[in-house]
């Protein structure tokens, strides 16, 4: 069976599920959200990571139905979990959007639909896009970001620092947060990478943006990021991505 046919079948057979990786405040290790990460549950019981199917989904356009499913499921989880949260509690779910998804003309409409269907609070939804996605078509990207943010949805720039776009977009686009790419975090023994991470944190704060570090694996990385004033972090040191029920339990008693 071809990969594309396989993907179609997986969609029909509802094999795609979300895992949730906890994101913490580095100052007090309180839970501030989850990043939703899609997986494919194979009939043989195995689990495929996005690396094995996202880019084919993108090429074939299947990323659109898959992305809608991810958005609907993430909003459903938000709706369910809102019961466990005080209104004042900082908590959001981050959903990754690929380029094709972001450039869909009805992205804002689809997102509104997912929120309405589930009663999820838009202020608890964060969308992650990469810088290149913004630069593809800056005019329409700007209009979309404005539409999303008017609803209270927040925007994070994923894999920050790995693209080649000019920094001026940081002030041109309405965004809320930068995610420092795992590549910089994992190699902070290197002086240059350490300086880059520190500089990204300072740049973000100077522009009024929050910073999330990805891929924290060691106490030393956590300590350095705290020292640099990085706001939030996620990574195997704290937790791997969790299946829905574990994430639910975790939300009730984060330990
Ligand atoms: O889940 P994993 O840790 O293997 O993620 C690998 C990559 O797949 C990451 O770059 C992540 O942004 C991407 N990814 C994970 N889930 C989704 C999703 O639901 N939609 C899109 N477009 N990308 C995703
Ligand atoms: O592409 P994006 O950055 O959105 O996706 C995050 C990816 O990184 C997911 O595949 C997730 O499972 C993975 N990840 C999360 N934390 C860690 C970590 O501490 N170490 C490594 N190696 N991968 C991680
Ligand atoms: Mn991401
Ligand atoms: Na990333």
Residue 21 near ligand 2, beta carbon < 6 Å: yes
pLDDT tens-digit series, residues 131-150: 999 998 999 999 999 999 99
Average pLDDT, stretch 248-252? 90
The verdict on ipTM greater than 0.90 is yes
Instruction: Tell me the DSSP string of 87-141.
Output: TTS--EEEEE--HHHHT-TTHHHHHHHHHHHHT--GGGEEEEEEHHHHHHSHHHH
Q: Is the pLDDT of residue 255 over 70?
A: no
Separation CA 179–CA 213 (nearest Å): 6
Phi, psi of 191 (to 5 degrees): -55, -45
Contact of 136 with 144, CB cutoff 8 Å: no
Q: Work out the pLDDT band at 254, boundaries 50, 70, 90.
A: low
Separation CA 141–CA 153 (nearest Å): 15
Quote the crossing angle between the two packed helices 63-81 and 244-252, to the nearest 10°. Answer: 30
Contact of 21 with 30, CB cutoff 8 Å: no
Residue 37 near ligand 2, beta carbon < 6 Å: yes
Domains (ranges, CATH) in the chain? 19-32+71-252 (3.20.20.450)
Distance 37 CA to ligand 3 centre (A): 8
State residue 89's pLDDT score: 84
């Amino acid at each position: 069976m071809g990969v594309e046919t396989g993907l179609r079948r997986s969609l029909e057979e509802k094999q795609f599920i979300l895992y949730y990786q906890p994101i913490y405040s580095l100052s007090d290790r309180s839970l501030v959200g989850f990043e939703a990460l899609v997986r494919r549950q194979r009939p043989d019981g195995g689990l495929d990571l996005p690396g094995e199917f996202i880019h084919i989904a993108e090429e074939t356009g299947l990323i659109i139905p898959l992305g809608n499913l991810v958005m609907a499921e993430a909003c459903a989880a938000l709706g369910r979990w809102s019961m466990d949260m005080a209104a004042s509690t900082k908590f959001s779910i981050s959903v990754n959007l690929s380029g094709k998804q972001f450039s869909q003309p009805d992205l804002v409409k689809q997102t509104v639909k997912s929120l309405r269907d589930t009663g999820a609070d838009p202020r608890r939804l964060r969308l992650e896009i990469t810088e290149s996605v913004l630069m593809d078509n800056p005019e329409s990207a700007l209009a979309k970001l404005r539409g999303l943010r008017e609803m209270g949805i927040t925007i994070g720039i994923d894999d920050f620092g790995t693209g080649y776009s000019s920094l001026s977009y940081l002030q041109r686009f309405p965004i809320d947060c930068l995610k420092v790419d795992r590549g910089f975090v994992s190699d902070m023994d290197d002086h240059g990478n350490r300086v880059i991470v520190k500089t990204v944190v300072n740049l973000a704060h100077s522009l009024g943006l929050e910073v999330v570090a990805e891929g924290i694996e060691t106490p030393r990385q956590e300590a350095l990021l705290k020292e640099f004033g990085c706001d939030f972090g996620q990574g195997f040191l704290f937790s791997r991505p969790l299946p829905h029920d574990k994430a639910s339990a975790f939300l009730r008693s984060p330990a």
